[in-house]
Chains A and B, each alone.
Chain A
């Protein structure tokens, strides 16, 4: 069962992946530095498939897509926050990292979670409570379903709103 690793409000992209590591196309190299300045012990406690949980405005700061890519390549299954910074939110969905906005979650560090991505329902096994994620616009759901914007545009050639 995946575990929650809980961080606070306003986690900026410099803390998710420092700017000095971002200039690369070797995207797997990003994983080694994820959360480095925020939580130096991250790699000792994190297991592939675990979940990052945060408060308000996760991913604020720079537009670097390397931030969600670093989390994805490190094996983060999903990121849950009260709400996300807008560029991070689009980037995450565009590169196929699932993100769920749950404004009222009560998740604590180490809680066991069950994620139902397609229905946007998170069950907190430890606290015996479940939460509904904010509904996404259809275009974002479609992009997420295709695993990202590259696959979406390969398939549709253009954006479809309706």
Chain B
């Protein structure tokens, strides 16, 4: 019987043909936890009777959510992670390494066809690599650390086809995924896999594919997977394609070539409109970074708009490169210098102000335009601020003008 990509990857790992609705126990090819989730995972692992992790080469700890530590409590949790990694002789990516998801991809810790479990809700990002990746909580992760396995219900899949070759000027994968979030809503893909297909997807870089999979978390999905057409990687891999007659719970077709720049307005990522409907809304804080849009091409898109110019008076702009590798590349090609000269503040590679822990909490009544993935009330640490989500290009031009503005092609 025909299978989706999720059904194929899970079947291959379990050794029997699985279809949506089946329960399975599968070996996990990699797992990771961050400073938000690792301390609890380590605690649960020890309470389960764990002494050594099942496979230290498949276990990664990343300090990214509040890095460097903003207070003594978090400093102690970071030390707990460092001690555990030393004890296990396993990988620890310390402050400055970057955001967990970017670090895993940069260091090739997840590959096409893998099953990966991350104790962070944006773990489906790795579906850009044609892998099956899920977010889990700390105790589920502890069980993976202990057993090397996880139990899963094989998800139904939603097929999203993005037609069209050429995107509109100023449009990137963020605008496309905001349209998908709008159509599916914040709960429309609950328990399901969002499988991306189409000409517009096949033309996207790995970085842009990561944007599409990152925000399946904002659709409630279990995972998101990109069909491998056009995927280019610096190593050989076996692609997993869906069968032509695979069964989907829903098929969504979008003319990507007709999509205009999008914005999610407060307080939900599915509250999506065209940027042009919100033009003129004053903003005082612009943020580019995160696992959604903190990669080199994102910073370059902002730099192209800001080169030789100054952000508006009364606006502060914060940029957090997604990883050390992104920061180094951006330094080499002059992107970082361009952004600093335009008035941006570069902060440490990591999650930065996205989760409201530190490094740029907005004040009462402020409006923030952000390239992140969530604008829930209180998300950036202050329930009295408003968060608008858009592409790096829209964030950059809005910082330049001091109000929400449509990006213009350079």
A-side interface residues toward B, CB under 8 Å?
Answer: 9-10, 12, 14-15, 18-20, 22-25, 37-38, 56-57, 60-66, 83, 85-87, 90-91, 94-95, 137, 139, 148-150, 153-154, 158-159, 161
Contacts and interface: CB of A to CB of B under 8 A. Distances in A.
A14 B378 contact: yes
Given A14-B376, A14-B377, 8 more contacts: A12-B374, A19-B357, A86-B220, A87-B121, A153-B48, A158-B147, A159-B143, A159-B151
Contact of B135 (A37, A56, A87, A158): A87
B77 A25 contact: yes
Interface string B147-169: 10111010000000000000000
Interface in B103-159: 119-121, 123, 135-140, 142-143, 146-147, 149-151, 153
Chain B interface residue bracket vs A = 35 or more
A90 B140 CA distance: 8
A56 B140 CA distance: 23
B399 to A, nearest CB: 24
A10 B186 contact: yes
B47 interface: yes
B356 A24 contact: no
A159 B139 contact: no
A63 B49 CA distance: 24
11 contacts: A18-B383, A19-B357, A25-B77, A62-B36, A63-B120, A63-B135, A86-B190, A90-B140, A153-B49, A153-B143, A159-B143
B329 to A, nearest CB: 29
B282 interface: no
Contact of A14 (B77, B120, B150, B374): B374
Nearest to A18: B378
Interface of B: 23-25, 35-37, 39-40, 43-44, 47-49, 65-66, 73-74, 77, 80, 119-121, 123, 135-140, 142-143, 146-147, 149-151, 153, 186-187, 190-191, 217, 220, 222, 268, 355-357, 374, 376-379, 381, 383
A98 to B, nearest CB: 15
A15 B140 CA distance: 22
Contacts of B222: 86
A64 B150 CA distance: 18
Given A63-B136, A64-B37, A85-B190, A19 B381 contact: yes
Given A22-B36, A24-B73, A159-B25, A137 B153 contact: yes
A94 B140 contact: yes
A161 B24 CA distance: 8
Contacts of B74: 23
Contacts of A137: 23, 153
A12 B376 contact: yes
A23 B377 contact: no
Given A19-B379, A65-B139, A90-B137, A10 B268 contact: yes
